[in-house]
Structure 1
Amino acid sequence: MPRGLALARPAERGVTGDRRVVALFSATMLTSAILLFAVQPMVARFVLPTFGSAPQVWAVALVFFQAVLLLGYLYAHVSSSRLGVRRALTLHGVLLVLPVLVLPLGVPATDAGTSAGNPAWALLGLLTVSVGLPFFVVSTTAPLLQRWLVNTDHPAGRDPYFLYRASNFGSVLGLVSYPLLFEPRLALDDQGRWWTWGYVLLAVLLFACAAFVWRNAGAARPVERGADEQLTVRRRLTWLVLAAVPSGLVVAATTVLTTDVAPIPLLWVLPLGLYLITFMIAFSSGGRSRWVFRASVWLMPLAILAVAVVTVAEIRSPLWLILTVHLVAVFLVAMVCHGRLAQDRPAPQKLTTFYLVESAGGVLGGAFAALLAPLVFNALWEYPLFLVGAALLWPGVRGVKPRRVWDLAWPVGLGVAVYVALTELSYENAVLIAGAAVCVLFALRRPARLAAGLAALFLAGTWGVAAAGTPVIERERNFFGVRTVEQGSGVRSLVHGTTLHGNQLLRTGLPQPTTYYHPASPIGQLVTGGPRGITRRTAVVGLGTGTMAAYSQPGDEWTFYEIDPEIVRVARNPRYFTYLRDAPGATEVVIGDARLSLEEARDRTFSLIVADAFSSDAIPTHLITREAIDLYFRKLVDDGVLAFHISNRYIDLESVLGNLAREARLACYAGDLDAPLGEGIEEANASAWVALARRPEDLGDIAGDGRWQRCETGPDSHTWTDDYSNIISLLR
């Protein structure tokens, strides 16, 4: 989210005025920044369950906050340039009081249909109603405080950029404090109340600042530097692009990370926090900031090419390596772009224009990544696109300019060589690393050459890996992610993001359960070894390919709950999968959020509920809370069984369910199968499941099966509720 954060030291400008005024304005700026950036992950966490815990929730939320920030900067620009000082102060005093009408923060109730289809606009509307007005008012503080100070006779008004030292620090502090301090310790309602008290403090500080400006506005003197500085169209467009690229890159990188792991606030704030830190460094005075900028210029090509290798090769472990590669690239790209912005910042008299253009660039970049890209791309192509854009903005490290013909000739040669090597050789990682190394060697002289080489590596690498891998017969994308239908030798698969969501063997006869659901899997053991009639009335949260329907029996009634209508379309298409069509029992699919939809079902209806919904590589947190467990058991018959699929590369959810079962006095058993058992089982994947019931005997044979163990538990304080969850503590 763009914020022009200049940090010239007042002492270096000859400021000798009242330090108490500087302290007051700095404290106000610090408070404003903390509130501005703490509320973003907080409110996104509020609305996450309503939209199926999709990774795109944070991307759309970021665009919303960027757009409101732009409106705040526009208000600051117009009020400070068109109104007199005292009329502007009066207007803002009235504006400060209005958020009292919507505080404390909260999210209005929604129905199950809110998240169906493409809910981006519904999400924007919900954010507007819940936090739009308070966020707008807080977002005006930064440019207004600077402009107010310019309109006084205080010496600091000669160059008020120093105020952003406090703003930068507050921005990062507010952002990182949420996942590390507030989310693990406070319920959502308490978080909203604490933010409200913070807003009250900000209002008091702003009224104090306004009182000082009111008393001293009459003696204001002209700004000494840059009164007639010209802001050409070319210069403004440059600011716009330099702000748009890192903003869009943050959104795109966050989408990639949360798709591979889980949509959690920690992975939201890490890229955005690094983005803000680059502002702190870029707009600071002194030699250290210049040294960091020069080092970033040198290192950026290596970082973005490393992302190309990791992305094209689909490297997903170890987690620390994946996070490091993506986050370092975000930091270096943002550092280079924001460094160039800092070098070209205008005089204080033009600062509101500077922030307005910069904010507009941030909105454009974020909106492209969050709103437009899912509509025009069938994969996460916005990420490499922003990296190529960053390469074009790279200032380079040498002054010699080679002939332009090589800017196009050598990337074409690189792309052809990488594609041929990937389709003919089996060492794809080595090929991609070699291609990246060649790109570095030939690109150091020209940004255009670096961008062309990076694009060639992405395109040739993606096409080469695809040609050597499983053929894709359909790829679609919407708000909930990218779905790919692949067909290999004798099997057809559905991949959602980077997670396999089921496959089907291509043979005649009734389809057999495969992947995580094969007969020897924990869920296969539960269904076949559970009490008689366990499947007679079954609810399955999460559809996938509909593989679970293969376990239905004649006379059974199965209801699948699925939030993504495109998954329903694929599962019902007999050209792809026939589990639903060929199910021995009757099947029904309900579209919408599972918890909200289950609320509408009659109590004591189901004999078995299977929670198999995955957002990214993890079950959505709102489906695994105290309130969710209570809901499931209200809908189960007295001897009903609840099963959770908890397979995950990075997160261990067994203790979460163990705690919930202990609190509700339920029987809880965990089954974890690393390899298929028995002969004749094909296309089997390792999986981990947890089964819960009111009594151990309700679970049938598995309660005494050595392959199932009682669930592990953790401290009582770690029991998840709708108001509290802490995924960070569960990372492997």
Structure 2
Amino acid sequence: MRNKLFVLLLAALTSTLANADIIHQEKSLYRNIFVEDRDNLRCLKFNVKDTLTHQSCMLKNDPDYLVFNYTKMMFASLLMIEPPKSVLIIGLGGGTMSNTIHHLYPDAIIDNVEIDPAVVKVARKYFDFIENDKISTIEADGRIFIKRAALRKQSYDWIILDAFNGDYIPEHLLTKEFLEETKALLSENGVVAANTFSSSALYDYESATYYDVFGDYYQVQTQRRSNRIILATKSGQVDSELITKRAEAVDASLKDYGIDIYELINAMSSTKNNQDWPKNTRILTDQYSPANLLNQ
């Protein structure tokens, strides 16, 4: 049943715009926003010209089901940490990650940071985004929030970087300085999980920059030329026996969301054994981060 559902989802996601009903559209201060329905699938888009740039999708009759593979890959983070008590998500989309984490860890504090108030409004109205006394939504630039959180001496067990502007990750969220600021917010045994793309022309630059800040890290890749999840901690590598123990602890609960934690373990690799970028790759900094130029 799951395989059949996946095939149907792929067909819906790759359908042309003419086959979808646009149920909401607006031009915000930051982007063009579209909400599309096609049968049981509802998707948020930031660019009408490209039918494959969906930012978030959900099944209307099963909002908890994780449609995108990369959202499932994000949960490899749980192999790096104990059950999180505090989570920071930069980039809201439809609120899928926040909702799922809340269902798994209802006592965890979750801070969602989204620069665009229109996206927050759409998530609330069209994507069943949950907000309560444990879940906060902050309308702010992610980097500014992180700077201010550091001044307040806040810390998080799990920091998720998932901000996109419709083309790629905003360039000020790619630099060494930003990653150093983010690392400073991690609890002692926390993890940063970043959604990037293995097909991006920025792959080498991103890899080198994360390595410069965190040292060796893990990456999760289940398909070629698709999403890559970077998992970085303050302490570097995690003992393999501990990873196995944590997988056993979360396996049953993650299956309810279509996540196979052992499949994710097989998709993980460490830069300790596989530094797949040139040694002379230039680090992205606040003075050198020409993301739009490089990502062509």
TM-score w.r.t. the length of structure 2 is 0.74
Distance in 2, matches of 1:665 and 1:577, equals 34
Paired position in structure 2 for 1:609: 159
Paired position in structure 2 for 1:696: 237
Distance in 1, matches of 2:119 and 2:69, equals 18
Instruction: Give matches, 1:161-560, under 5 Å.
Output: 466=17, 468-497=18-47, 498=50, 499-507=53-61, 511-519=64-72, 522-527=73-78, 529-533=79-83, 535-549=84-98, 550-552=100-102, 553-560=105-112
- 1:594 partnered with 2:142: yes
Contact residue 91 and residue 114 of structure 2 kept, 8 A: yes
Distance in 2, matches of 1:579 and 1:471, equals 21
Paired position in structure 1 for 2:11: none
Contact residue 536 and residue 555 of structure 1 kept, 8 A: yes
Whose strand fraction is larger, Structure 1's or Structure 2's?
2
- 1:687 partnered with 2:247: no
Whose helix fraction is larger, Structure 1's or Structure 2's?
1
User: Cα 1:642–1:523, aligned 2, differ >3 Å: closer, same or farther?
Assistant: same
Contact residue 156 and residue 187 of structure 2 kept, 8 A: yes
Deviations 1:143-179 (A, max 9, x none): xxxxxxxxxxxxxxxxxxxxxxxxxxxxxxxxxxxxx
Distance in 1, matches of 2:60 and 2:289, equals 41
Distance in 1, matches of 2:134 and 2:220, equals 28
- 1:708 partnered with 2:268: yes
Distance in 1, matches of 2:217 and 2:76, equals 15
User: Cα 1:652–1:706, aligned 2, differ >3 Å: closer, same or farther?
Assistant: farther
Larger radius of gyration: 1
Distance in 2, matches of 1:662 and 1:674, equals 22
Contact residue 110 and residue 134 of structure 2 kept, 8 A: yes
Task: Give the letter aligned to residue 559 of structure 1.
Answer: D
What is the deviation of 1:598?
1.5
1:722 aligned to which of 266, 270, 286: 286
SS in 1 for 2:209: helix
TM-score w.r.t. the length of structure 1 is 0.32
Distance in 1, matches of 2:239 and 2:91, equals 24
Distance in 2, matches of 1:707 and 1:717, equals 25
Distance in 2, matches of 1:614 and 1:728, equals 13
**Higher RCO (Cα < 8 Å, 6 or more apart):** 2
Paired position in structure 2 for 1:70: none
- Give % identity: 22
What is the deviation of 1:551?
2.2
SS in 2 for 1:598: helix
Task: Give the letter aligned to residue 639 of structure 1.
Answer: N
Deviations 1:411-433 (A, max 9, x none): xxxxxxxxxxxxxxxxxxxxxxx
What is the deviation of 1:710?
3.0
User: Cα 1:698–1:567, aligned 2, differ >3 Å: closer, same or farther?
Assistant: farther
Distance in 1, matches of 2:91 and 2:284, equals 21
What is the deviation of 1:481?
1.3
Aligned residues: 248
What is the deviation of 1:663?
2.4
Task: Give the letter aligned to residue 500 of structure 1.
Answer: H
Task: Give the letter aligned to residue 595 of structure 1.
Answer: R
Structure 2, gaps ≥5 residues long: 1-15, 245-263
2:119 aligned to which of 567, 573, 578: 567
Distance in 1, matches of 2:239 and 2:33, equals 37
SS in 1 for 2:89: strand
Distance in 2, matches of 1:617 and 1:473, equals 23
SS in 1 for 2:167: coil
Contact residue 658 and residue 668 of structure 1 kept, 8 A: no
Task: Give the letter aligned to residue 524 of structure 1.
Answer: F
Contact residue 536 and residue 556 of structure 1 kept, 8 A: yes
Distance in 2, matches of 1:730 and 1:707, equals 27
User: Cα 1:653–1:536, aligned 2, differ >3 Å: closer, same or farther?
Assistant: farther
Contact residue 44 and residue 57 of structure 2 kept, 8 A: yes
1:633 aligned to which of 175, 183, 201: 183
What is the deviation of 1:580?
2.2
Task: Give the letter aligned to residue 147 of structure 2.
Answer: E
Task: Give the letter aligned to residue 270 of structure 2.
Answer: R
